[in-house]
């Protein structure tokens, strides 16, 4: 009411949704009769620090063959931000040494009954790695 007394020309009041939910129905009805509309603001959360420009730039650099650490240095962004803003499914860490086809071959040979040591010798893969692939 103090706001209305100081500013009689007000037609709309915006407030956070958390506050709007706590306003009594009686107050909303009275304000409505006075011609003042009270509406909750639906925007919530922290504003974004980086926009579409950064996302597109990071994606272009990834498509051109740059890795996330290079992009981080060139754009002066934290590496976690680069991973967060990327659009392609990138995984951190080392790339797998063996292709999915090789892994499938190991599993198939194991399912056919070939012993792990023979699979290791036949494909030139360390014994421990064969066990790791089978366990996946």
Q: Where are the domains of the chain?
A: 2-41, 52-85, 100-135
C-alpha span between 89 and 91 (Å, rounded) = 7
pLDDT in tens, 43-69: 767 877 888 888 889 989 988 988 889
Is the pTM of the predicted complex or chain greater than 0.85?
Answer: no
Q: What single-letter DSSP state applies at residue 88?
A: S
Does residue 15 sit in helix, strand or coil? strand
What is the pLDDT, as a whole number, of residue 97? Answer: 86
What is the pLDDT, as a whole number, of residue 35? Answer: 87
The yes-or-no verdict on residue 107 having pLDDT over 90 is yes
As given in the structure block, the two tokens for residue 111 are 């399912």
As given in the structure block, the two tokens for residue 110 are 């194991």
pLDDT in tens, 68-95: 899 999 999 998 888 888 865 556 667 7
Which residue's entry shows tokens 């639906």?
42
Side-chain half-sphere CA neighbours of 73 within 13 A:
4
């Amino acid at each position: 009411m103090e706001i209305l007394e100081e500013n009689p020309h007000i037609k709309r009041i915006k407030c956070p949704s958390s506050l709007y939910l706590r306003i009594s129905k009686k107050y909303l009805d009275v304000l409505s009769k006075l011609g003042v509309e009270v509406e909750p603001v639906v925007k919530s959360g922290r504003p974004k620090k980086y926009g579409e420009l950064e996302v597109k730039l990071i994606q272009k650099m990834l498509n051109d063959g740059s890795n996330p650490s290079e992009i981080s240095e060139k754009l002066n962004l934290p590496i976690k931000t680069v991973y967060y803003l990327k659009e392609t499914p990138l995984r951190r860490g080392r790339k797998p040494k063996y292709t999915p086809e090789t892994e499938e071959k190991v599993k198939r040979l194991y399912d056919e009954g070939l012993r792990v040591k023979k699979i290791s010798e036949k494909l030139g893969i360390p014994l421990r790695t064969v066990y790791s692939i089978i366990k996946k």
